Structure 1
Amino acid sequence: MTSLGDRWVAAARGAGATAGDADLAAAGEYLLARWSEPQRQYHTVAHLTAVLDVIDEFATLAPGADRVRLAAWLHDAVYDPRALGDTNERDSAEFAEGLLTTLGAPDEVAAEVARLVGLTAGHATNDDDPDGELLCDADLAILASTPDDYAAYTAAIRREYAHVPDEAFRGGRTQVLKALLELPSIYRHAPLRQAWEDRARANLEAELKTLG
């Protein structure tokens, strides 16, 4: 089985990074250390792996699949549950562009990966953005999981926000769920929408009822 580190190096090489193998491997190890930080309960290496697995399974839907893979690695590179608004996504996008530039990726690749990372703030894409659509679909795949896995996900999110009082958390979480349910479609790519949309909406609606 290919290790996560090897998957990072392969994606970086595929996207045009010119740094030596040792530098690429070190960057992958550094990212995995970030994904293993103690404040993370859901946004962990397990989440990264799940997102990458979806991207690999549906890679033919994305013209720039390696850029999407890099964006998956970097979309939560900066993660502080106490941060306000889209600070984490903006900081992760800035970090992504800087890291990839340091690793010898072409400027346009670094900028595009940073753009993709930024999309995960609101999971909103333009109509003609298959790379962005696949990243967002993969990031939201957990919403269409089994009831048990969905319950584990919501429990992990609550642990990440343990510093937030219950009433405030319920209010914020309710806003998030309603925004997702108001989308014309949670998933953009047709195969994912057909497979996951109904189950995701059922999970979201069930959670919303528990928050009421």
Structure 2
Amino acid sequence: MELCERLGVQSSRRHPVWQVLVSAYGEPYRHYHTLAHISAVVAHAERLREHFQMPDTVLLALFFHDVIYDAARQDNEMRSADLMRELLPDIDTERAGAMIVATQHHTATSDPDTNLLLDIDMSILGADWPAYRAYAEGVYREYLPVYGHDAYAAGRVALFLQPTLTRDSLFLTPEFAGREIVARDNLHREITLWQAGGFAHA
């Protein structure tokens, strides 16, 4: 609510907007992309507040970046940005919308705030192994009903884990560069896990 006040959101809109967020992030098929994830990334952003040019815009983007999450679709980020604009027509959401869309590919941009936001969103890659494993299993459980175990396992390795490891740097900013070694180790460990059968056989 304090963020809404700072951004100039009309008081009559604040509670309804929050209820939409609570409902969306509480959808029963979500196992990682929940309010817990939003709480974690917002906490990161608050800790790094002085590193942003527009910290409240970053917070707005983080609150909405996964509000639409359908494992069967490829346009969740664009739809999330559109919903934010629909719910908050009385404020300028253009930059926050661009930040949300950037989370689809997590590649470097010309905007330092966006790059740091992307690193915050991907900071789980550099967490300790139990936290990383819980993240990986949560995402697996979100996709399992859509693709099934074998297709998901193959896609996770070929389309995310291996391509991510080919990047020169997993993180885009100095603030997260120290997580690089741990993150690469986590990605390799997850590949090994899938080679052993994945979470269904763990």
TM-score above 0.5: yes
* Runs of 4+ residues deviating >3 angstroms: none
Paired with 1:10 and 1:189, the residues of 2 have a C-alpha distance of: 28
Which of these residues, 93, 100, 104, is aligned with residue 117 of structure 1?
A: 100
Paired with 1:67 and 1:135, the residues of 2 have a C-alpha distance of: 10
Instruction: Give the corresponding residue for 2:10.
Output: 19
Matched, 1:201 2:184: yes
Residues 11 and 67, structure 1, Cα contact 8 Å, conserved in 2: no
SS in 1 for 2:53: coil
Matched, 1:180 2:168: no
Percent identity (aligned)? 28
Where structure 2 has 5 or more consecutive residues not aligned to the other structure, the ranges are 196-202
Paired with 2:149 and 2:97, the residues of 1 have a C-alpha distance of: 34
- Report deviation, 1:11: 2.2
- Report deviation, 1:89: 0.9
- Report deviation, 1:98: 2.1
Paired with 1:76 and 1:18, the residues of 2 have a C-alpha distance of: 20
Report the CA distance shift for 1:159/1:18 in structure 2 as closer, same or farther (over 3 A).
closer
* Count of paired positions: 193
TM-score by length of 2: 0.89
SS in 2 for 1:133: helix
Instruction: Give the corresponding residue for 2:198.
Output: none
Matched, 1:154 2:136: yes
Paired with 1:100 and 1:13, the residues of 2 have a C-alpha distance of: 12
Q: Which amino acid aligns with 1:99?
A: L
Residues 62 and 100, structure 2, Cα contact 8 Å, conserved in 1: yes
Once the two structures are superposed, residues 173-201 of structure 1 have per-residue CA deviations (whole angstroms, 9 ceiling, x without a partner) of 0121122212222222202112x111111
Q: Which moved more, 1:31-40 or 1:176-185?
A: 176-185
Matched, 1:95 2:83: yes
Instruction: Give the corresponding residue for 1:192.
Output: 176
Paired with 2:116 and 2:3, the residues of 1 have a C-alpha distance of: 16
Q: Which moved more, 1:159-168 or 1:64-73?
A: 159-168
Residues 35 and 77, structure 1, Cα contact 8 Å, conserved in 2: yes
TM-score by length of 1: 0.85
Matched, 1:145 2:127: yes
Paired with 1:36 and 1:90, the residues of 2 have a C-alpha distance of: 20
- Give the CA RMSD over aligned residues: 1.4
Q: Which amino acid aligns with 2:180?
A: E
Matched, 1:169 2:161: no
- Equivalent residues in 2 for 1:19-168 (5 A)? 19-20=10-11, 22-83=12-73, 85=74, 87-101=75-89, 104-106=90-92, 110-126=93-109, 128-163=110-145, 164-168=147-151
Q: Which moved more, 1:159-168 or 1:73-82?
A: 159-168
